[in-house]
Amino acid sequence: MLKQRVITALLLLPLAIILLFYPSLPTFSLILTPVFGILAWEWSGLLQTNKAVVKYGFVFGTLAIVSFFFYQLLNMGFFESPNHLFIKKAGLGLVDVYPFKALAVAALVWALAFVLVLMFPKGTKLWTRGAALRMLFGWVMLAAAWLAVVMIRSSQIETDFYHGGFSLLLMFLIIWGADVGAYFAGKTLGKHKLSPVVSPNKTWEGFFGGMLTAVLVAYGLATYMGMPLPLKYFIPFVLLLVIVSVIGDLFVSMLKRQAGVKDTSNILPGHGGLLDRLDSTLSVAPCFVILLLWLRGGL
């Protein structure tokens, strides 16, 4: 299984690098849309319903919200000059600009998701009375993640076209570093379960191993990027994102456990579905944007 996962990752890596660095910002945003359509379809399998109209409705609803955000960004002149918005609205004041306030809403929804994970399996009746709540969570989380990824890619694009790509790579290295570090630390040292009901394989030893790995790999790339965040801010920045990534992983794991599925699909050999690989990205991307807006007064 590990060999298959490595082979799949190596085959997808060149495609991911091309997507992160080479398309224009509008093209990048459009390419992301069908990707999030796939994520929405996989999420629809967690709604615990056999009604095709509900599943297709969820997917089309997700694409409609993402398309609406794209239209709003286009209408605001974001794709022509992204940075003028950040200069005009420095710091967290930016989230008051429509539709960026969606990121603040997403942060609140993820906080609620964390509470639900802590409560599990108590409160499951709230989730099993139809698919409406899981649909609402999915729409907010997926659409906000699309918006956040586009915002990160736009970072300093008017002065350095590749800076946003490196910023996205930094985000993914934090997630992947936490995941890989947790896997190996958990395998070799793991004794104390992190969340035995939701995800029995996760341990506290793996969690802290993931934190250490994420800080090291992220610091390496941030140094190369010349990211102007001193260590007293950078380390808490990474550690908080690692915590948020674990919350995203655990929340989707909780939904899968409730739905009785191991993987959301099988389109990625050895990995399962896109949602299985990008669950942490859904929670980390909005938090990444909000933290940078706060720490640097803009992206």
Mean pLDDT of the region 270-291:
87
Measured distance CA(218)–CA(119) in Å, rounded: 32
3-class secondary-structure state, position 202: strand
Q: Nearest 5°: phi and psi at 206?
A: -65, -40
* pLDDT value at 267 more than 60: yes
Mean pLDDT of the region 90-98:
48
pLDDT in tens, 231-249: 888 999 999 999 999 999 9
Write the secondary structure of 20-78 as one string of H (helix), E (strand) and C (coil).
Answer: HHCCCHHHHHHHHHHHHHHHHHHHHCCCCCCCHHHHHHHHHHHHHHHHHHHHHHHHCCC
Which residues, 6+ apart, have CB-to-CB distance to 147 below 8 Å? 69, 99, 100, 102, 103, 286
Check: pTM over 0.95? Answer yes or no. Answer: no
Cis peptide upstream of residue 82 (ω within 30 degrees of 0): no
Highest mean pLDDT among 75-79, 87-91, 295-299 belongs to 75-79
3-class secondary-structure state, position 163: helix
